Chain A
Amino acid sequence: MLDFDWSVIWKSREVLWDGMVLSLKLFGIALAGGIFFGTLLALARLSSWKILSYPAAGFVNLIRAIPFIMAIFWFYFLTPMLVSKFTGQQGEAVGPFTSAIVAFILVEAAYYSEIIRAGIQSIPRGQPWAAYALGMNYWQAMGFVVLPQAFRNMVPIMLTQAIILFQDTSLVYVVGLKDFLGAASKGGQITGRIVELYLFVALVFFIICFGASWLVKRIQARYSIAR
């Protein structure tokens, strides 16, 4: 016990760095895509057209009822099948990274849509009415009046969700991707020192997420809406 050999971390630095780059890439794309499609989903769910709101609600509830890993598996195994069916090409060309990106964007869209929906609903009804009265159309009222305020209300909780998303990127381990955690596993297999590498991964995640949530608290205190 406790005969640690911390030099393996230095020896595995390149693998670990590549892993961190992949994690950050996944995080960035999933965050941007999740917020974009999450906003559309939230608007669809709040729409008075049932043809929009019912499927949106169904999708969000479905995604939220299944484990994240299950969603990753769904896209990992089915995207290649679908691609080969529609294009006639070999489905393997899709690859685990692309299918993971698709899964992450859709799952995050479902979670973000709930946050954004709550944000939109926190805006008084009179605001869109006033915008319509000024002659704005739906998209102008949403884009210039409602959404900017909603997003401002939602900044802290969206950032908190972003921290959770960053932690969840480690789940791509299950389809064999070498994200930060996957890279540490790989490095551990090569060097035979899995313990040090996993402890190091935990420490790095802790520092990043703790620092980020501390920042979120600061932002929250500073920018909480003045009403």
Chain B
Amino acid sequence: MDWRVFLEQAPSGGMTYLGWLGSGLMWTLLVSIFAWVIAFTLGSVVGVLRTTPLRIPRAIATAYVELFRNIPLLVQMFLWYFVMPEVLPKAWGDWLKQDLPNFVELPFAQFSMWEFTAAVLCLGLYTASRVAEQVRAGILSLPQGQTNAGLAMGFTLPQVYRFVLLPMAYRIIIPPITSEFLTIFKNSSTALTIGVIELTAQSRQISEYTFKTFEAFTAATLIYIAITLTVIYAMRLLENRVAVPGYISQAGGH
């Protein structure tokens, strides 16, 4: 084993192999965070729609969840990246594939904006279907009386959601939502199949250039573990701060 390999000059990017790992980590985080923003907002909307009494929006939301949950993520990745530009009008498809800027001059990556965008869209929309289920479960776990009380006080249905149901639901679902974020962050590695050089891809690349497979994968694995632990720790702090008094989840309570 030879860990000094990470200090050696890498053949591209004018940096060491350690720099390659850093660049991979940066792309992993960028893909995850952008996708998470989509997943959280869209997932919340879809989850709320699934609990409303409105029939047509509810049916659309259910169809969304079923569609995105029952196709493998990797297949969805290929649908966005390869199929999408072909089924759009030709001019649009060509624009996506050719005219989006390359990241070549940007931090050490040889892929284009379209690869990055497709990965973000794919992960975001896929995870939104999972977040939607968590949001729905959170809302359904609240007693019906809360909705009725809100309506009785003269709130409109949107106000009931805004001021009564959602604040409670979000506080309850922080643990499952945390694991959804960890899932997105792990799933971002599927972006390597469409050319995004994120952490897993970068470690494979280092292994190919240096034949130090064990070292390269160990380093990436440790980075994944470090991020997982950080997210869990941060979320636990948040969870304690927003815990609903009187619920079992409340820290230190009996």
A36 interface contact, C-beta 8 A: no
B78 interface contact, C-beta 8 A: yes
Interchain CB contact under 8 A, A73 and B70: no
A149 interface contact, C-beta 8 A: no
Mark the stretch among B33-41, B96-104, B153-161, B221-229 that contacts chain A. Answer: B221-229
A151 interface contact, C-beta 8 A: no
Interchain CB contact under 8 A, B70 and A213: yes
The answer, among B72, B83, B189, B203, for a CB contact under 8 Å with A170, is: B72
Interchain CB contact under 8 A, A198 and B207: no
Distance of B58 from chain A, by nearest CB (Å): 17
B interface, size bucket: 35 or more
Distance of B89 from chain A, by nearest CB (Å): 6
Interchain CB contact under 8 A, A198 and B66: no
The answer, among A77, A168, A213, for a CB contact under 8 Å with B207, is: A77
Interchain CB contact under 8 A, A66 and B74: no
Interchain CB contact under 8 A, A70 and B86: no
A51 interface contact, C-beta 8 A: no
Interchain CB contact under 8 A, B207 and A181: no
B108 interface contact, C-beta 8 A: no
Interchain CB contact under 8 A, A206 and B78: no
Chain A residues within 8 Å of B79, by CB: 198-199, 202
The answer, among A1, A2, A69, A73, for a CB contact under 8 Å with B190, is: A69
Distance of B189 from chain A, by nearest CB (Å): 4
Q: Total contacts A to B, CB within 8 angstroms?
A: 104
Interchain CB contact under 8 A, B189 and A1: no
Once A2-B87, A73-B200 are accepted as A-B contacts, the answer to whether A66 and B70 lie under 8 Å apart by CB is no
B186 interface contact, C-beta 8 A: yes
Interchain CB contact under 8 A, B189 and A195: no
Interchain CB contact under 8 A, B82 and A210: no
| Interface residue ranges of B79-93 to A (CB < 8 Å) | 79, 82-83, 86-90, 93
Report the 5 A-B pairs with minimum CB-CB distance, sorted nearest first. Answer: A67-B189, A167-B72, A209-B70, A67-B186, A65-B228
Query: What are 12 contact pairs spanning A and B, CB under 8 A?
Result: A62-B225, A65-B228, A67-B187, A69-B190, A74-B217, A78-B214, A167-B70, A167-B73, A171-B74, A173-B193, A195-B83, A210-B70
- By a beta-carbon cutoff of 8 Å, the part of chain B in contact with chain A is 66-67, 69-76, 78-79, 82-83, 86-90, 93, 182, 186-190, 192-193, 200, 203-204, 207, 213-214, 217, 220-221, 224-225, 228-229
